[in-house]
Amino acid sequence: MTTKHEPITPPTHLAQIYELLTAAYGHPAWIPDNDPLGGLVGTILSQHTSDLNSGRAYQQLVTLLPTWEAVRDAPPEQVAYAIRSGGLANVKAPRIQEALHTLTRQQQEQEDTHPLGDFLFHELKKRAPEEAWQYLRSIPGVGPKTAACVLMFNMGMPAMPVDTHVHRVSKRLGLIGANVNANQAHEVFARITPPEWVYTLHVHLIRHGRQVCHAQRPACEHCPLFIACAYAGGVSVYEERSLRSH
């Protein structure tokens, strides 16, 4: 995550990957919905379940409890009942309410009287992406990927969520080192990715991981990134650099 005043020159290898991805998949429209609190709750609901189930749980929650203040103040069992279709309801319900209570305490300290969703929007809007990412991570139950998802999809800020597809494909391509875990990868991408590339790169790495670069038996023979892939070449970019330096 960077500010608009910190231009980034991407590594040559990343630039090549980005060009190949956009040639294969195009340029997706980046249209944030400006609802970070809805996005935060939705991302918590999406953990360990399908998009269909988490979407259903979200709709049931906002139908039963139409405001985030109502979700915050409801008995935990009522929230769990509303989101039961998303799985792990007894875990996710207190996690959602704890996040809402944390934001409420911050709001009260500032004597802010806006709806809770508006409060979070303005707290994020006044921060640079890196600071906004760290702020979200200070909320209980919000990890690096959840924070990045909220910033990118709901606020239109350049933060790269690293899910299992992004992590796997990035390792195989040699964009991150073999020992870099998903949490560390957020920091790596923040250093090397121009802000205007973040959304497109994220969307295309996920698409590529789902359609071509499968966890088991990747379809290398059909891969538009084959000429730039460290996995297909049998040696990582980091290993190549190490060999050349000796």
How does DSSP assign 31-66, residue by residue? Answer: ---S-HHHHHHHHHHHTTS-HHHHHHHHHHHHHHS-
What is the per-residue pLDDT across 72-131, written as a single tens digit (0 to 9) for each? Answer: 999 999 999 999 999 999 999 999 999 999 999 999 999 999 999 999 999 999 999 999
By annotation, the residues acting in catalysis are 145
Tokens of 57: 């749980």
12-29+161-244 topology per CATH? Endonuclease Iii, domain 2 (1.10.1670)
* C-beta separation of 191 from 175 below 8 A: no
Question: What's the confidence (pLDDT) of residue 6?
Answer: 63
What does DSSP assign to residue 196?
A: G
3-state secondary structure at position 158: coil
Q: Which amino acid is at 52?
A: L
* Of 213, 145, 200, the residue nearest 173 (C-alpha): 213
Instruction: At 160, give phi and psi (nearest 5°).
Output: -95, 105
Residue 244, pLDDT > 50, answer: no
36-155 topology per CATH? Endonuclease III; domain 1 (1.10.340)
Question: What's the confidence (pLDDT) of residue 17?
Answer: 96
Non-local CB neighbours of 5 within 8 Å, separated by 6+ positions = none
Tokens of 136: 């979200």
- Could you tell me what percent of the chain has a pLDDT over 90? 89
pTM: 0.88
Residues of the chain with CATH 1.10.340.30: 36-155
Mean pLDDT of the chain: 92
What is the per-residue pLDDT across 65-87, written as a single tens digit (0 to 9) for each? Answer: 999 999 999 999 999 999 999 99
Tokens of 159: 């933060």
Residues of the chain with CATH 1.10.1670.10: 12-29+161-244
What is the per-residue pLDDT across 22-58, written as a single tens digit (0 to 9) for each? Answer: 999 999 999 999 999 999 999 999 999 999 999 999 9
